[in-house]
Structure 1
Amino acid sequence: MLSNQTIAIIKSTVPVLEVHGTAITKRFYNLMFTAYPELLNMFNHANQRQGKQQNALANAVYAAALHIDKLEAILPAVKQIAHKHRSLGVKPEQYPIVGQMLLQAIKDVLGDAATEEILQAWADAYGVIANVFIETEAEMYRQSEQQQGGFADFRAFRIEKKVGESDVITSFYLVPQDGGAIPAFEPGQYVSVKMSIPGEEYTHIRQYSLSDAPGKPYYRISVKREDALPGKPEGKVSTYLHETVQEGDVLWLSAPAGDFTLDRNDERPIVLISGGVGLTPLVSMLADLSETNRTNRRVTFIHAAQHGNVHALRSQVEELAQRSPQVSVYWCYDKPTADDRANRAFDKEGYIDLPWLQSVVPTKDASFYFCGPEPFMKLVYRLLKEWGVAAADIHFEFFGPMGSLEPAAEPKETAARS
């Protein structure tokens, strides 16, 4: 337990973290990777270069400081991060390293303002927060290993089938190399793929949603090839998977993880909204709902893509809808091709807007799940808020570090002066 004095000191640093949080986390990663370069194996290097990982950690540290007297308020975020840590193979012995580097980063960025009293308070607070993560992750490791077909860390899977789904998305059907059973998973969960790429100093780990229903003798991931764009490097892993990895090759997978899953106790209508490759966890949800006949819930599936050439898994979704009268499917293309127009391959041209959404979704009294590129997710989130959908009915998944879908706040005077 933290003393009242420690809690007061931590809370007094909240305004400082709001201003300097990202600078602290940038310094933290620089220190950690310099002292422990092997930890680069666990991180998406592109997210590091783009600052996403640093911003996500800054937000997490800020939230921990803000709620240090009632850590139960951040338990949902802890569990979400813990799922990722378990999937990546984070171990308890790595937490002291993180604590040491975080305190040094605070000291380096804040200078004389980081008094011994403040640093000690943060050391005490970090110890409490780290224990929450360690205990949560230990339970997740136990559950992962003890279930039927379960395993800890990473396991070898053979690529049984490689299928091009669109010009940019390819599916990989994966079966255990040892011929054993595979763990069950909840639709919406993901696996981590650990890969050594020739010429690369460090291994790479990427997390990909499982894109088919549970209960199959395989896992399926559907991967978008991430091409280089201005300000965005080429996806090393996705390119290697698309261009080099073939059927019969072996990938190392973690057991399924993640908390972006269906609420089985909710019998109201469900709306699944995806953009681009963000359809993968939602196709898994739709396939599970349709194939198992577990529910009579009305399901509306909406997918947005640029055009038909990059639209993956369309035939599977349409087949599921044909077999399931409770499922309605709508396609939204913002840059349809001439063939798309000739074949009437889409229901709406342009971006999703609120009048159109209200015309195809029968009620806002439903559970909404959405996933896709961050600008798309911000649009959907804004539309649902404008419609008055309850916050408890809005569920989403970021591909990568946790971001924010709320509009950016106006800069504070203190931030402007810093």
Structure 2
Amino acid sequence: MWSRKATALAGCGAFLALSGLVLLNYLFISVGIVMLSFLFLASFLNLWMPRVTIERTTSSDNIFEDGELEVSFTLRNRGLLGGFVEIYDEVPPQARLARGSNYTLLYLKGRQEVSFAYTVRMPLRGHYHLGPVRLRVKDAFDLFYNERHESVLEPFSVFPRIEGLESEILGGNNPKLYQGAMPIYSIGEGSQFYSLREFLPGDSMRKVNWKALARTGRMMVNETERENIIDIYMLLDARGVSGVGTPTNNPLEMCCRAAASFADQLLRSRNNIALTVYGSRTATVHLGRGETQLFRILTALADAKAEGELPLKLVIQDLLPYIPSGSPIILFSALDNDPSLAEAFTLALTRGYALTVVSPSSIDLEAATGRIPAGPETVARMERENMVNELRGWGVHIGDWKPGEPVSMALAGAQR
């Protein structure tokens, strides 16, 4: 392809040559022919342009909000001649350049290898990719160039930010949620004595209580307690109404950060965690524990988008048959525009589940953007306060979370 410089040179040469013929000016003719001849000879160098290959690597496949991702490029000229190389790497619109630049223009000699790097900062969770790469290779005179697009994409994920929590996380009815593993005791194979019962066919002789046999004259066996780790179910409200506010400060983003912090703390304490995200549909991360489960939960949180109007009652009805009795249910929701809330909470509480709600205040988020007049804002605050007090009267542990407060404040508020 011709550059602007080559086009201008060809135009000037043709103009001087034609003007010289018209004016019979041999100087114009000579200069014009020289310029056109130089351009003609330089066009043959286009066949021996630098043959550039590129290689891109990133510092990590996953980062957290406000984290930095370092991108490194290696350019190799496999040709014998040098030339100018112009490279541009497309980055997500949400990315902010922290160091370096994703655009570079340099001169690459024959058989030379050059590296450069830049760093982006990602303020918003989600799944993104780098690329494609636009590469333009020019000849030594910057007259001709070849342009191509490298369609190789580099995917990466931005997880919600995890904040440290206090030692005592939340309060509940049965059981209470404290830091550390939360055991449930039931009859089974274990080491803790539970009771005595009569010997039945099939019982192991090792379980026979010989002292009881000598005392009563009947075969008695020991029953022991089995310790299980509790199952904790988290629900995340990702309906369309949860996107009220700015892209980086809305109920959905606050709920994602709280859910990530909560999951990290409980999984470190060796508990089983499950997550269900509901909006236009439900997406579930089934029960699990350990670092792999935390990665699954963070991936699901990064994928959550504010869309749909699925009511909480339908979600609760679908999940309750699979949740063991007494297991805590933790809801992360702003509790906005859902007429089924009362029925959903009643359904869970009447079946003996410990229900906890972490609720960001969407009213404060809208007030910060100046969208609510003073009068309606006061009424909305009173309605929300009455709703929170009513839910607490039902036995729901609810944390009324204000924007700008750390996650630990919201979780501590649920203890009141």
Q: Would you tell me which structure has more helix in proportion to its own residues?
A: 1
How high is the TM-score relative to the length of structure 2? 0.25
How high is the TM-score relative to the length of structure 1? 0.25
Q: Which has the higher contact order (CA 8 A, sep 6+)?
A: 1
Q: Which has the larger radius of gyration?
A: 2
